[in-house]
Structure 1
């Protein structure tokens, strides 16, 4: 029997994604983002969250999905990746679920337009709901993390 995971569910377009709760610091409403020159196109800039400067990444841009307008539902999910905090822009984040690790299967090559290397797997919930589990360390690869760390200085 697999272990129980608590997972925050968020949406990009019509797809639902999950990040383990223990990797999420907090979820915030959209706030002003300070642009930073000479960064990857999916790095939208930085925010100042309670005195901490945090790089902001548009997950739609990261995955090569079309960008969309920010709405009242748009959220910033603050995650910890390799001792560093990063904010992901997502379309909405409104659910925490319990998931058995046994229900997570190896992802196919592409899920919802997202390459498998960014994914830990796909979890089947109930009869017709799929949850795409993110592989945070791959969403931010090492060279990108080095570049983002320089934004924090």
Structure 2
């Protein structure tokens, strides 16, 4: 009798789900396990002395949530907020925060080995924020490392902003 475990385990490829979103013409993905909810954009309350990329805070069911403009954080050109502008509420390093993006696309299930290393080139985006690039249905997806993006220094700024 042939064991099914060896063929079964070979078929099990490590996968992860990513929420995809747009910033300009680029499509990004973040680990779905970090996403708490998606909300329409509402103007946050601005905080004095906060860095420009921290748009302010909102009250989310009794929790004060800092809102980060991901375009500003990544050094992308700024745009006017529209009806499609959304805030992705994330839970990163035990901190709840929102990131403003142009629009949310969908959720994709990717084999982890489909995420290729980022090519080395001069870019506006700090490559330490990028886990890699994946092809998804004929389109390129930039997979972000949201924990690296919201580095401990920035998290300290966020925590200080809402303290």
Normalising to structure 1: TM-score of the pair?
A: 0.93
Q: Which has the larger radius of gyration?
A: 2
Q: When you count strand as a share of all residues, which structure comes out higher?
A: 1
Counting matched residue pairs gives 152
How far residue 32 of structure 1 moved from its aligned partner, in angstroms, is 2.4
Identify the residue that residue 149 of structure 1 maps to in structure 2.
159
**What are the within-5 Å matches in structure 2 for residues 2-151 of structure 1?**
2-109=13-120, 113-126=124-137, 128-151=138-161
Give the secondary structure class of the aligned counterpart of 2:83.
coil
Structure 1: 5+ residue runs without aligned partners?
none
Mean CA deviation greater in 133-142 or 102-111: 102-111
How far residue 13 of structure 1 moved from its aligned partner, in angstroms, is 0.2
Contact 1:4 1:101 in 2 (8 A): yes
CA distance in 2 between partners of 1:112 and 1:3 (Å): 30
Structure 2: 5+ residue runs without aligned partners?
1-11
Normalising to structure 2: TM-score of the pair?
A: 0.87
Mean CA deviation greater in 2-11 or 56-65: 2-11
Contact 1:103 1:124 in 2 (8 A): yes
CA distance in 2 between partners of 1:45 and 1:106 (Å): 34
Contact 1:55 1:152 in 2 (8 A): yes
CA distance in 2 between partners of 1:112 and 1:99 (Å): 25
